[in-house]
A and B are shown apart, each in its own frame.
Chain A
């Protein structure tokens, strides 16, 4: 068997954590929400898959039970999302659009961004690079 190099030649530290050190994808889901006036910010960490998407959807239902004027979903610490998570985000986006509540996602890790790109979600969703940029946009 050929010996493999530890990292591809064009290794990108922002995208690939060092080979041999990674436990990337196994974390459970954690969701927190904060309110700043009528803006709601939901922070998601860990993984959204078919085992955790029900919990993710329930947390977002709680947010909409006391509807904010605008919603930011911060995905900084989300390291894995399957189509089960995309499904929940699509439901939320349709609801936000129908109720005319701006929805902005921010801080997508490159792996998450790739899933968005493949799914065509990068053009469906408003996506900000940072939380500050997202807040500026909803307040602007």
Chain B
């Protein structure tokens, strides 16, 4: 396993583009395809956005609300995102029905759906007052 790339975010949405920056540096360093970078950025963005939007009282700023780390093992990127916000298991969100027509589609709620779709594995645990999500993205099968 490689040395971890780490990032700490405040509970502010303007922090979100920093995820892309870190993921891209990680993927360039390890010569991973841009599509891998896009999927990792998307999954981490969605989870961080949920945590920032719903996990914290918006009037209280936390310098270390969210921590991310990225490592590479033989065939996959392992990403961990943990936040100090309210308990929330993203896997408890019911699946999205993507077959509905325009009028029937509800606005919002697609974030967790995207995470599930672009990652190969998503696991959640709540420990020591932290929400922690483990993500795995295979990079040996990029088509």
Contact = CB atoms under 8 A, between A and B. Distances in A.
A17 B37 CA distance: 12
Contacts of B139: 4
Given A93-B102, A118-B113, A84 B49 contact: yes
B107 A91 contact: yes
A8 B105 contact: no
B23 to A, nearest CB: 7
B31 A6 contact: yes
B60 interface: no
A75 to B, nearest CB: 15
Contacts of B33: 7-8, 16, 19
A80 B38 contact: yes
**Which of A6, A8, A17, A20 has the most chain B CB within a 10 Å cutoff?**
A8
Interface stretch (B9-17, B79-87, B124-132): B9-17
A17 B32 CA distance: 11
Contacts of B74: 1-2
A120 B114 CA distance: 11
Contacts of A47: 17, 20
B78 to A, nearest CB: 13
A38 interface: no
Nearest to B98: A120
Interface of B: 2, 13-17, 20-21, 23-24, 27-28, 30-35, 37-38, 41-42, 45-46, 49, 52-53, 72, 74, 96-103, 105, 107-108, 110-111, 113-114, 117-118, 139, 142-143
The 3 A-B residue pairs with the shortest CB-CB distance in the complex, in nearest-first order = A120-B98, A25-B20, A83-B110
30 contacts: A4-B32, A7-B33, A8-B142, A19-B27, A19-B33, A20-B28, A22-B28, A24-B24, A24-B34, A24-B37, A49-B49, A50-B49, A51-B13, A51-B15, A80-B20, A80-B41, A82-B45, A83-B49, A83-B110, A83-B111, A90-B107, A94-B102, A94-B107, A111-B35, A118-B98, A118-B113, A120-B96, A120-B97, A120-B99, A124-B105
